[in-house]
Amino acid sequence: MSGAGEKSRILALLRQELLDLRQEGLDYLGPRPLRPPREQAQPERRATGGKPASAVRAAGSGGWRPRVPPLEMPPLEGDAQVKGQRLEEIRHDLGDCRRCELCERRQTIVFGEGNPDAPVVFVGEGPGADEDRSGRPFVGRAGELLSKMIASVGWRREDVYICNIVKCRPPGNRDPKLEEVAMCQPFLERQIEAIAPLAIVALGKPAISTLMGRPIPITKLRGQWQEWRGYPVMPTFHPAYLLRNYTREARQAVWDDLKAARARVEEAGR
């Protein structure tokens, strides 16, 4: 993971911790002196009819608190804004990309969509016909199934981020060629680093092979955590494969994999 990605992740965890503390009632964060300064204690003694202020407070609602302004919590949407801007920069850099031959027959570049501050990124293979027309990832039948898969573990589609290893449709839905993947991969990598998710779900062989840098049969690695630049990666079946092999075993396997991803994210407090 890059330094910037690691920093984003640490800041997100720290922010969540602060928000949890605030929900538990914390309204002050900072050094707490052992006793009030004299100039504050004396007027309070007068105001309590000569009794020590501490005695009055002891019978009241808690001890003395320093007059320090409460910590300003950073806005919750800060990370999402910064990450969203980074994603926009990457999309801008991609431009009207003609870096590989997939540009020749595409209708639309399908960059990716979702929550810029997503806890999990789903990486598929490439756009199909529906995605090529709409410019959105996973909107055809496989996309409907992916949405159901995501919902089955309690996420909403808008909570996560969804993208592909290539942004343009391979003709006839063929596998993308190695040289096409190589040209598009830097943009995928930048997307993941910008989001700095807590987990990645690789959908199918091309996605996990691209991230691991070697060809990997999905049946061998499915359900076993891998790592890409420090990010945990869960390989699972592509929804298009599930549509072709709609068996109880295959569906159970994918559900188990997504539950593992969900648990990993929850362990990290999201």
Q: Binding to ligand SF4 (CB under 6 A): which residues in 37-96?
A: 94
Q: Which of 120, 184, 221, 234 lies at the binding interface for ligand SF4 (CB under 6 A)?
A: 184
Are the C-beta atoms of residues 57 and 63 closer than 8 Å to each other? yes
Determine the Cα–Cα distance for residues 3 and 236; give it in Å rounded to an integer. Answer: 28
What are residue 120's DSSP bridge partners?
199
Residue 95 Cβ vs ligand SF4, minimum distance, rounded to whole Å: 9
**216 touches ligand SF4 (CB under 6 A):** no
Which segment (66-74, 117-125, 177-185, 224-232) binds ligand SF4 by CB under 6 A?
177-185
For CA atoms 167, 168, 169, 171, give the dihedral sign. negative
Q: Rank residues 86 and 106 by Cβ distance to ligand SF4 and give the closer one.
A: 106
**192 touches ligand SF4 (CB under 6 A):** no
What are residue 234's DSSP bridge partners?
201
Tokens read off for 245: 């092999």
Sort strands 226-228 and 161-164 into parallel, antiparallel or unpaired: unpaired
Q: Rank residues 211 and 261 by Cβ distance to ligand SF4 and give the closer one.
A: 211
Q: Is 228 helix (H, G, I), strand (E, B) or coil?
A: strand
**185 touches ligand SF4 (CB under 6 A):** no
Binding mask 94-133 for ligand SF4 (x = CB under 6 A): x--xxxx-xx-----x------------------------
Determine the Cα–Cα distance for residues 246 and 250; give it in Å rounded to an integer. Answer: 7
Q: Which stretches of the chain bind ligand SF4, using CB under 6 A?
A: 94, 97-100, 102-103, 109, 166-168, 180, 183-184
